[in-house]
Amino acid sequence: MKNSKFDLEDRLIDFGVHMIKLSESIDKRREASRHLSSQLVRSGTSPGIHYGEAQAAESRKDFIHKMKLILKELRETRGNLKMSAKANLCLNPESTSEGIEECSELIAIFVKSIQTAERNGRKTETEKQNNRSTEKPKK
């Protein structure tokens, strides 16, 4: 996969398309191949679909929850990719390696985004508590 600077949504969509194409290149004569191919499509396209939900989250807590779901799907996809590679299921091993690399980069992005959102949430909560403690009592 080409690793240029993309909007994250575009990158997730491109990753999902890559997983679809990769699954189509898997030799599906074996049961394990069919299973992993199906799993790749499901878990590999899910992040691109669910990213919009995270962007429309109703609260910071909701945003973090949705981002964690995307992270979970990315980790599952990376596991499926590694398994496919070790079992030599894909007819194009280079495409699998590229998928693993891109998936790892996306995982790193989501881990940092979640950490930042959680840290900002804690800062906001601390600021609210500080403001409450410095308010003058009403008479």
Write down the pTM of the prediction: 0.83
Whether 139 is in a domain gets the answer no
Record the tokens describing residue 104, joined without a space: 């790892």
pLDDT value of residue 67: 98
Whether 2 is in a domain gets the answer no
Per-residue pLDDT reduced to its tens digit, 18-74: 999 999 999 888 898 999 999 999 999 999 999 999 999 999 999 999 999 999 999
The whole domain housing 30 covers: 8-134
Looking at per-residue pLDDT, the higher value among 89 and 72 belongs to 72
Whether 1 is in a domain gets the answer no
Give CA–CA dist 1/50, Å, rounded: 21
Task: State what percent of residues in the chain have pLDDT above 70.
Answer: 84
Tell me: pLDDT of 4 over 50.
no
CATH code for position 99: 1.20.1440.60
pLDDT value of residue 124: 67
Per-residue pLDDT reduced to its tens digit, 104-135: 999 999 999 999 999 998 876 666 666 666 66
* Domain count for the chain: 1
User: With 0-12 CB in 10 A as exposed, 13-18 as middle and 19+ as buried, what is 85?
Assistant: middle
